[in-house]
Amino acid sequence: MVYFILTRLLRALLTLLLVMTFAFFVLRLSGDPAVILLGPDAPQDSIDAFRERWGLNDPLWQQYLAYLLQLAQFDFGVSMRDQVPAIDLVLSRIPATLAITLPALILKVGIGIPAGVYAALHRQSVADRSVIGLSIFGFTIPSFVMGLLLVLIFSVSLGWLARAAKTAGDTRSFPSSPCPSAGSGSWRGSHARR
């Protein structure tokens, strides 16, 4: 059991390192942040000062090592655009994120588990096949496409829900609804059959 947990933890850390590395290099290689943030018409002196302030004149490998050392110390830096600590920006968006993900999780569990249990109890039936088919359908359609379709149906055509949330706590809005559509299939009967 300890070996299993340690293996999973090591894999999670490796995955996190790979994602951070990928994000770092993609963002650095997608363009010069100084030109992107200051604009192509900015004076060269301003661009040079920006590059010097943010260490963008250093070789890419030195920038990457500095990035990893900062993360190891839980120093997430300062936003280049907003000039505030990055962690403050992340924390300020948690309420809106929870307002979307918690209702989606409740719907996902509330639909997926009962559907999976019912399908498991009625193996090879129409219900079992329907649950499997809907879960495959939910997983194959990208969430942004599913979201647009559901907004068109329930918000635009039927007028049942608002098209977008006005505040983080507006639970009548529709953005969280597409989230469980694919995930509810992950609780399908094949997991309960074992």
Q: What is the pLDDT of residues 31-41, one digit of tens each?
A: 888 888 888 88
182: confidence class by pLDDT, cuts 50, 70, 90: very low
Percent of the chain with pLDDT over 70: 84
Q: CB neighbours of 99 closer than 8 A, spacing ≥ 6?
A: 165, 168, 169, 170, 171, 176
SS3 readout for 63-101: HHHHHHHHHHCCCCCECCCCCCEHHHHHHHCHHHHHHHH
* Res 188 pLDDT > 80: no
Contact criterion met (CB below 8 Å) for 160 and 154: yes
* Res 181 pLDDT > 50: no
d(CA 77, CA 109): 37
Contact criterion met (CB below 8 Å) for 130 and 118: no
Predicted TM-score (pTM) of this structure: 0.55
Torsion of CA 36, 37, 39, 42, to 10 degrees: -120
* Res 106 pLDDT > 50: yes
129 to 56, 123, 175, 178: CA distances (angstroms): 56, 8, 28, 22
- The two structure tokens encoding residue 84: 């505030």
Instruction: Indicate the DSSP class of residue 173.
Output: B
Using DSSP's 3-state secondary structure scheme, residue 162 falls into strand
What is the rounded average pLDDT of the residues 164-171?
53
